[in-house]
């Protein structure tokens, strides 16, 4: 039986950057994210006794080599849990607005975790799903639930899981993706963070201060304190990028347009606009603002930079698609 699941991507307000256990993907610090309504991955899984290996098609392209190997290793975890050795046919489609440059392993492994476990006959709790998704990609643990999510650092496989966070009922934020560049990143998150953990003297300070920042962010979300949320988020991103600049060899994901965009964020804030920035493992900048300011800010950044800006609201949890939705997808 084929099961199709949809998971939305997420952007961290308090970043995950560095592992204490690379095998189990236990992070060095807890992280907090917002799930985005605009970007998601649909993944179908069909276990078939006729197959002699897993197969994986991504956006209509049959995958082989490292991409297939990584996925197959993840499927072994599901097979182990389900107690069988059947291979699967996996088909995945990323739904990301044209050239948004936000393709993410978060939505991919969250959708796969849900589709694969259900297709294998398992009915896992969301908490256990986040633990399985985490083994594919750390940030995927935060794409099982919707809205605002915390991934608890934990100390082992059982205690490193994600769950939704309570927030003030009137909190209404938007995340604006400013698409400066949609080329694949030069250095993967996995290698970038491993290099920083191994060589950056700032790394221990990063991990320690992130734990404090995660606690402060939980309080700010609960209080609906926009300025505090924005300030903590922007600082978390800057601290993450500072650890990279202090690595050996030093590296950065920023490009000149990243800095120009940051400069504009600061100038607007000086003029009283409620806007903060966050940056992940690439040059694109995401803006955090109250919903009422989103359209005006998107226009300002489009005019200033001549680049696309996508407005995202908090997105839903991962879910299994109905047969009717799967058929509609197949004919789209």
Cβ 176 to ligand 2P0, closest distance in Å? 17
* Closer to ligand 2P0 by Cβ: residue 268 or 279: 279
* Closer to ligand 2P0 by Cβ: residue 22 or 250: 22
* Closer to ligand 2P0 by Cβ: residue 4 or 107: 107
Rounded Cα gap, residues 234 and 189, in angstroms: 19
Q: Which residues sit at the interface with ligand 2P0, rule CB under 6 A? A: 12, 15-17, 25, 31, 105, 137-139, 189-190, 280-281
Task: Output the residue with the shortest Cβ distance to ligand 2P0.
Answer: 138
Cβ 134 to ligand 2P0, closest distance in Å? 8
DSSP secondary structure of 14-77:
E----EEETTTTEESS-EEEEEEEEEEEEEEEEE-TT-SS-EEEETTEE--HHHHHHHHHHHHH
Cβ 71 to ligand 2P0, closest distance in Å? 12
* Closer to ligand 2P0 by Cβ: residue 26 or 317: 26
Cβ 178 to ligand 2P0, closest distance in Å? 16
* Closer to ligand 2P0 by Cβ: residue 19 or 266: 19
* Closer to ligand 2P0 by Cβ: residue 103 or 115: 103
Rounded Cα gap, residues 244 and 17, in angstroms: 10
Cβ 91 to ligand 2P0, closest distance in Å? 21
Cβ 33 to ligand 2P0, closest distance in Å? 6
Cα dihedral value 174, 5, 94, 15, nearest 10? 50
Rounded Cα gap, residues 8 and 216, in angstroms: 25
β-strands 61-62, 26-27 pairing: unpaired
* Closer to ligand 2P0 by Cβ: residue 70 or 231: 70
Cα angle, residue 141 at apex, residues 137 and 142 outer, rounded to 5°: 120
Cβ 179 to ligand 2P0, closest distance in Å? 17
Show the beta-strand stretches assigned E in the chain: 3-14, 19-21, 26-27, 31-47, 55-58, 61-62, 88-95, 148-151, 162-164, 173-178, 276-279, 285-290, 309-312, 319-320
């Amino acid at each position: 039986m084929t099961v199709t699941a949809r998971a939305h991507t997420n952007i961290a307000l308090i970043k995950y950057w560095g592992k204490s256990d690379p095998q189990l993907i236990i992070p060095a610090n807890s992280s907090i994210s917002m799930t985005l309504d605009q970007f998601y991955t649909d993944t179908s899984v069909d276990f078939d006794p006729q197959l002699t290996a897993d197969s994986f098609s991504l956006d209509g392209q049959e995958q082989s080599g490292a991409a297939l190997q990584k996925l197959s290793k993840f499927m072994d975890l599901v097979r182990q849990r389900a107690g069988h050795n059947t291979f699967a046919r996996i088909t995945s489609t990323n739904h990301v607005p044209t050239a948004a440059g936000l393709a993410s392993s978060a939505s991919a492994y969250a959708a796969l975790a849900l589709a694969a476990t259900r297709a294998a006959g398992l009915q896992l709790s969301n908490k256990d799903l986040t633990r399985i998704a985490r083994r594919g990609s750390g940030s995927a643990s935060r794409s099982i639930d919707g809205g605002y999510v915390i991934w608890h650092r934990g100390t082992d496989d059982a205690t490193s899981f994600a769950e939704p966070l309570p927030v003030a009922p009137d909190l209404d934020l938007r995340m604006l993706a400013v698409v400066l560049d949609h080329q694949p990143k030069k250095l993967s998150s996995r290698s970038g963070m491993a290099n920083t953990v191994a060589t950056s003297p700032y790394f221990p300070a990063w991990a320690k201060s992130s734990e404090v920042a995660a606690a402060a962010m939980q309080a700010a979300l609960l209080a609906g304190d926009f300025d505090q949320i924005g300030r903590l988020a922007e600082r978390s991103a800057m601290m993450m990028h500072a650890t990279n600049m202090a690595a050996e060899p030093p590296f950065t994901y920023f490009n000149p347009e990243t800095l120009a965009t940051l400069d504009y964020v600061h100038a607007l804030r000086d003029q009283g606009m409620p806007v903060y920035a966050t940056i992940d493992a690439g040059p694109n900048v995401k803006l955090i603002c109250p919903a009422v300011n989103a359209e005006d800010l998107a226009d300002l950044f489009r005019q200033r930079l001549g680049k696309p800006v996508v407005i995202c609201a908090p997105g839903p949890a991962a879910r299994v698609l109905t047969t009717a939705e799967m058929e509609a997808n197949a004919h789209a």
